[in-house]
Structure 1
Amino acid sequence: MQIFAKKTFDAPHVLKEIKHLMVIALPIMGAQLAQSGMGVVDTLMVGRLGADHLAAVALGTSIWMPLFLFLSGVLLGITPFIAQWLGADTPSKVGPFAFQGFWLGLAISLISIVAMLFHTSILQLMSVPEHLLPLTSDYMLGIMIGFPALGFYQTMRSYTEGLGFTRPVLIISVGMLLFNLMANWILIYGMGPIPALGVMGCGFATAIAMWSSVLMLWLYIRLNHRYNETRLLDYPSMPRWGEIKKMSVVGIPIGVAIFFEVGLFTTIALFIARLGSTQIAAHQIALNVTSVTFMVPLSLAMALTVRVGNSVGAGGYQYGKYVSIIGAGCTVVASFFTAGIMYFLPEVIAELYTDQAEVVALAVTLLHLAAVFQISDALQVALSGALRGYKDTQIIMPITLFSYWIVGMGLGYVLSLTDLIVPAMGVAGFWYGLIAGLSMAAVLLGWRFFAINRLA
């Protein structure tokens, strides 16, 4: 079947639409889980070195991960353009436009590296214990070396997923995970003439995996005939500011929204740094688990962006609304499964990371709280994905700013570190704040989704 065939204006049956969504979503989900698996591997392998080493990786991750997800979000701005052009049967526009993502990704990567150079000052500002600073700096060195690769990789990924070709990203993400696992084993613990580098080795291993993914995806796109009608790599050019501006107008609000959400989670690690390695380590375990489970609704939302974009391009907003509601329903159903895992198996999960009883006990509490917000988190990310398909991204940024940082962080800070409402709860208070913030985001994004469909 030709992927560029003109789409019908008649909405498919619900089960057929779910099948369309899953064909796109399942490979994305596998790729996202494999990518998140790198963080799990890092945490598991470094955790065996002790709570301080685990805390150092948690602190480093709290700085570079929001920057990476901002970069990823901005480059997601490529996807709805491609999806709508395919829905309208105009694939010739794809290649020249998508190539400009390389320039945008490189620029954001270099700015991110400059920001990461100030990580020591940021950590000192947050009263992080001094003995954790050298370990965190060792880890960050490798991450900075690998960061430019992320701009190139995410451009090619958004391009191929926008076309609906999601399986290559799955295969390459699994390969990247294996590269990371092998490099971690050698560089963290040492092998033969290679000395044990500890957390520095973990950072270098991540950089190796990042660059390997760029090479693998570039080769796949270059050699596979399925990309002949769009030809991303056949349109090398200097920056075209008009196209970069279009991409940025859609992508930057997506990136900022993701940055606000992930920054909320990771900034908590900086606020609780003064509470000691146990609280940081427990938070890192819970954050690591929720980062993995979040890949399920996020993958469905990314697939929903493609489906809604195709539908709007082919049949207008009514078709897009039909697809959006089905996709959001699938995402919420999936969230019950992830919530059940965290609620009923928290001890099993925590003990995979550490054998320190205090860390396990606190991580269990945080995982129970994380289970509560799975549904609202799934709903808000699905609605964001649908709005991206409409290219209605400007409103997402203020909604997430208010929900995550005013409601979520504000309440979390008060509950965790002050006695204004209840006696200071420590890190658990921030996770109560997360429940409130994500629920508010789901309500406001739902309002926007139905408002834009009424106006259409």
Structure 2
Amino acid sequence: MFNKISQETKYLLPIAIPAVLSQLAQMAMGVIDTVMAGHYSNDALAAIAIGTSLLHPVLIFFMGLFLAFNPIIAHFRGADSQTKIGMHFRLGIILAAAFSPIAILVLLNAQYVLHLLGVAPEVAELATGYLHATVWGMPGLLIFLALRFCNEGMFSTPAIMASTVFSIPFNIGFNYWFMYGGYGVPEMGAIGVGYATSLVWTMMCLGLLLYTIFTPKYASLEIFKHTSLPHWVEIKEVLRLGLPMAVTLGFEITMFAAVSLMIARYPTEVMGAHQIAVNIASISFMIPLGISQAITARVGYFAGKKDPTATQLAGYTGIGLSAAISGFSASTMILLPFVLVGFYTIDNQILEIAASLLFYAAIFQFSDALQVSSAGALRGVKDTKIPMFITAISYWLVGFPVGYILAENFGYQASGYWIGLIAGLSTAAVLLLHRWVMLSAKKPGEMVVV
């Protein structure tokens, strides 16, 4: 058994490592935008912070929707259905183009949300301008997401990594150019960051599109040699898998956002410490998140081949790897909290509070790794509806209520909300892992949820 696990790990890592680096690169671009805006002006920093808080839910929704292409493509690859793979690559591009006007319409009306939130007029104007500027890159971003998850299903994560990592220098250069102006471009401040983001998204899309068109290993798929439109049954399957995943991601993101909003009522030192601890935990989370995408592809591939033994092995190996790495992350947070927090601040009060919150972050590293990797394995067998209900229960009937009661009724404040996060993520981990154990033990014809 050890030899089989070792062999599966050797196949999993070349898919997982580029996926992890891609996630880190995308996160780095967000950090770069924030840091550069902060150096420009306080208003620019506030506008970017508020603008991204409205932009992220839109991005998360479409990321969840297009994530359906990973297991679908992996299944077809396992079944050696070349025609179906090529058709779904085209379907991804078509759906991205079809959904772009919806995403654009949402962003063009963001000012009404800012008004309802009572954002200061000068900051709201900048945030609105930033969001309106990102509209130009939205078609490119959605096509990139469609191609990204199609390529993940084909185990082509190095191409995705290249398109994201190589975009970072351009992100920095375009930010500086459009923020401060020059060479025929007026100084635009925070709004310039939006235009820079649009350009970077478009570059990422073009890079991955060129790879998809010209890579020799896709020649037999004849992706761009046919113009036939997809059938409703193919569209329906993508939506059936993708919509629950979009909602699932929304449940987790909104729980963390709600916790941040509640903690924002506390002294600024507590809020600052919370943001630092969340940022460190988010960086750590990119590792199991990248592994989960590789798990989906590997599990989907063997499920498509109708090989239950290999399907189980791929799922359990990936979950075990993710859990093992979370132990390293947790140990680092427990042993070196002040070193990690020291990269963000030198304020002693914030240092103390953030270091104490990192202890809670260390505790939920294992739960977070288990829940996201189990969810990845379940996606591989096209199980997305039940996980959606599991996360709804875990985060909103357990996690947030527990945090609220401890923080507001028992005086735990920020620590109470972090204990709530532990409760929510741990509940999700137990239920999702149990769901995977049950499904993976079924017969080949019953394992895949249809």
Which secondary structure state, in structure 2, belongs to the residue aligned with residue 16 of structure 1? helix
Which secondary structure state, in structure 1, belongs to the residue aligned with residue 33 of structure 2? helix
- For the structure 1 residues 170 and 107, does the alpha-carbon distance in structure 2 shift closer, same or farther, using more than 3 Å as the test? same
Correspondence 1:212 to 2:203: yes
Deviates more, 1:246-255 or 1:262-271: 262-271
Map 1:335-346 to 2 at 5 A: 335-346=326-337
Deviates more, 1:117-126 or 1:217-226: 117-126
Deviations 1:55-114 (A, max 9, x none): 443332222213212211211111112112221222221111231122323344433333
TM-score (norm 1): 0.87
Q: 2:101 aligns with which of 110, 117, 131?
A: 110
Correspondence 1:36 to 2:27: yes
Q: Which has the higher contact order (CA 8 A, sep 6+)?
A: 1
Which secondary structure state, in structure 2, belongs to the residue aligned with residue 373 of structure 1? helix
Correspondence 1:423 to 2:414: no
What runs of 5+ residues in structure 1 fail to find an aligned partner? 1-9
* CA distance in structure 1 between the partners assigned to 2:266 and 2:112 by the alignment: 19
Correspondence 1:17 to 2:17: no
* CA distance in structure 2 between the partners assigned to 1:147 and 1:455 by the alignment: 41
Q: 2:323 aligns with which of 332, 335, 342?
A: 332
Give 1:237 deviation, angstroms.
4.3
Counterpart of 2:173 in structure 1 is: 182
Counterpart of 1:444 in structure 2 is: 431
Cα contact 2:274–2:354 (8 A) shared by 1: yes
AA aligned opposite 1:441: A
Deviations 1:311-370 (A, max 9, x none): 222243332112211110000111122233444444444454456666555544443432
* CA distance in structure 1 between the partners assigned to 2:347 and 2:314 by the alignment: 47
Cα contact 1:62–1:269 (8 A) shared by 2: no
Alpha-carbon RMSD: 2.8
Correspondence 1:376 to 2:363: no
Counterpart of 2:56 in structure 1 is: 65
AA aligned opposite 1:60: G
* CA distance in structure 1 between the partners assigned to 2:255 and 2:209 by the alignment: 33
- For the structure 1 residues 336 and 124, does the alpha-carbon distance in structure 2 shift closer, same or farther, using more than 3 Å as the test? farther
Q: 2:144 aligns with which of 153, 168, 178?
A: 153
Q: How many percent identity over aligned positions?
A: 37
- For the structure 1 residues 374 and 189, does the alpha-carbon distance in structure 2 shift closer, same or farther, using more than 3 Å as the test? farther
* CA distance in structure 2 between the partners assigned to 1:288 and 1:79 by the alignment: 27
Give 1:53 deviation, angstroms.
4.5
What runs of 5+ residues in structure 2 fail to find an aligned partner? 444-450
Map 1:11-410 to 2 at 5 A: 13-49=4-40, 53-126=44-117, 132-190=123-181, 194=185, 196-238=187-229, 240-273=231-264, 281-353=272-344, 362-410=353-401
* CA distance in structure 1 between the partners assigned to 2:180 and 2:337 by the alignment: 28
* CA distance in structure 2 between the partners assigned to 1:354 and 1:142 by the alignment: 31
* CA distance in structure 1 between the partners assigned to 2:357 and 2:45 by the alignment: 17
Deviations 1:258-309 (A, max 9, x none): 1221232234444455557665554444333333222110111110111111
Which secondary structure state, in structure 2, belongs to the residue aligned with residue 232 of structure 1? coil
- For the structure 1 residues 23 and 90, does the alpha-carbon distance in structure 2 shift closer, same or farther, using more than 3 Å as the test? same
* CA distance in structure 2 between the partners assigned to 1:229 and 1:439 by the alignment: 44
AA aligned opposite 1:226: K
AA aligned opposite 1:312: A
* CA distance in structure 1 between the partners assigned to 2:174 and 2:358 by the alignment: 30
* CA distance in structure 2 between the partners assigned to 1:47 and 1:205 by the alignment: 16
- For the structure 1 residues 287 and 343, does the alpha-carbon distance in structure 2 shift closer, same or farther, using more than 3 Å as the test? same
Cα contact 2:87–2:230 (8 A) shared by 1: no
The size of the alignment, in residue pairs, is 443
Give 1:191 deviation, angstroms.
5.2
Deviates more, 1:180-189 or 1:84-93: 180-189
AA aligned opposite 2:411: P
Deviates more, 1:294-303 or 1:120-129: 120-129
Cα contact 1:127–1:273 (8 A) shared by 2: no
- For the structure 1 residues 407 and 315, does the alpha-carbon distance in structure 2 shift closer, same or farther, using more than 3 Å as the test? same
Give 1:189 deviation, angstroms.
4.5
- For the structure 1 residues 52 and 264, does the alpha-carbon distance in structure 2 shift closer, same or farther, using more than 3 Å as the test? farther
TM-score (norm 2): 0.88
Give 1:183 deviation, angstroms.
1.5
AA aligned opposite 2:91: Q
Deviates more, 1:247-256 or 1:367-376: 367-376
Give 1:158 deviation, angstroms.
1.3
- For the structure 1 residues 217 and 192, does the alpha-carbon distance in structure 2 shift closer, same or farther, using more than 3 Å as the test? same
